[in-house]
């Protein structure tokens, strides 16, 4: 009854037909079925195999259990079409997932390589920049002028060695964060220096100034010329001043 229902054929259409007839089981399963029944005949044991046949409603996948009974066989058929479809869908999903994972892996590898190259390029640029800064620092520290730079609030951000020593410090790092009011040899001129910074920052133009001091190098009174120029950022905005004594 189940065979009739699964196949869509009438009982009379199945009785007396050979299982290898072309309009029943698909030809691609014939060899396996022939070998299975041959084995069944020789060994007289239960044999299980999978096959597919053309039912009137389409292809039906079945699990066949053949049981030898004297000179005949009892054939138990179980429809596994839905299981096959689910397994095929699962396999397709797995293959698609593996494909996506492989594509994503390649994509990430390429990005990692690009990132590694970018990091390497940045390291080279940073090394070159550091070397350039060292060369610039060497030039600044070895010229006979007294050089410094400040932010917009007239707070020292740095200077060369000559300026640091003249200000009574041992290193340019020690003047960072100081103002003209902290410099003993410039204290008398601090207000004038700050006002000049403000004018340069506001106008964007350089200024010259002359003054005398007897404390800058400990050798008595001496006249000095100072030039103050504006410092700009990449947007051409004034962010401070650069000064030099001579």
pLDDT average per 10 residues of sequence, the chain (246 residues): 58 61 60 69 67 67 72 71 84 90 91 91 88 78 86 92 85 91 76 90 90 59 83 90 87
Instruction: Give me the pLDDT at residue 140, please.
Output: 76
Say if CB 36 and CB 47 are below 8 A apart.
yes
Instruction: Give me the pLDDT at residue 130, please.
Output: 84
Q: Strand 207-213 relative to strand 222-232: parallel, antiparallel, unpaired?
A: antiparallel
Q: Decide: helix, strand or coil at residue 222.
A: strand
Residues 6+ apart with CB under 8 A from 19: 25, 33
210: left (phi over 0), alpha (psi -120 to 50) or beta: beta
Q: Looking at the DSSP assignment, which residues form a beta bridge with residue 245?
A: 146, 226
Instruction: Give me the pLDDT at residue 133, please.
Output: 77
Helix, strand, coil percentages (3-state) for the chain, rounded to 5, are 50, 25, 25
Instruction: Give me the pLDDT at residue 1, please.
Output: 57
How far apart CA 204 and CA 237 sit, in angstroms, is 9
Q: Decide: helix, strand or coil at residue 27.
A: helix
Instruction: Give me the pLDDT at residue 46, please.
Output: 61
Of the candidates 207, 170, 171, 214, which has an alpha carbon nearest to the alpha carbon of residue 192? 207
The whole-model pTM stands at 0.50
Angle at 238 between CA 206 and CA 242, to 5 degrees: 50
Instruction: Give me the pLDDT at residue 3, please.
Output: 56
Query: Where do runs of H (alpha helix) occur along 20-80?
Result: 30-43
Instruction: Give me the pLDDT at residue 86, please.
Output: 87
């Amino acid at each position: 009854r189940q065979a009739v229902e699964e196949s869509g054929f009438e009982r009379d259409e199945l009785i007396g037909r050979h299982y290898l007839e072309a309009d029943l089981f698909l030809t691609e399963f014939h060899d396996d079925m022939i070998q299975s029944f041959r084995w069944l005949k020789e060994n007289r044991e239960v044999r299980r195999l999978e096959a597919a046949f053309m039912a009137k409603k389409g292809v039906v996948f079945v699990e066949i259990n053949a049981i030898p009974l004297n000179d005949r066989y009892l054939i138990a058929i179980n429809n596994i079409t839905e299981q096959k479809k689910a397994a095929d869908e699962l396999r397709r999903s797995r293959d698609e997932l593996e494909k996506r994972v492989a594509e994503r892996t390649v994509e990430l590898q390429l990005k990692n390589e690009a990132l590694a190259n970018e990091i390497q390029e940045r390291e080279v640029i940073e090394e070159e920049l550091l070397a350039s800064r060292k060369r610039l620092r060497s030039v600044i520290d070895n010229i006979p002028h007294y050089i410094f730079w400040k932010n917009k609030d007239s707070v020292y951000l740095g200077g060369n060695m000559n300026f640091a020593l003249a200000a009574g410090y041992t290193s340019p790092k020690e003047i960072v964060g100081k103002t003209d009011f902290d410099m003993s040899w410039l204290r008398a001129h601090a207000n004038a220096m700050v006002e000049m910074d403000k004018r340069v920052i506001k106008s964007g133009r350089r200024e010259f100034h002359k003054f005398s001091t007897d404390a800058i190098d400990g050798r008595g009174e001496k006249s000095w010329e100072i030039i103050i120029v504006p410092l700009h950022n990449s947007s051409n905005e004034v962010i401070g001043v650069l000064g030099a004594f001579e």
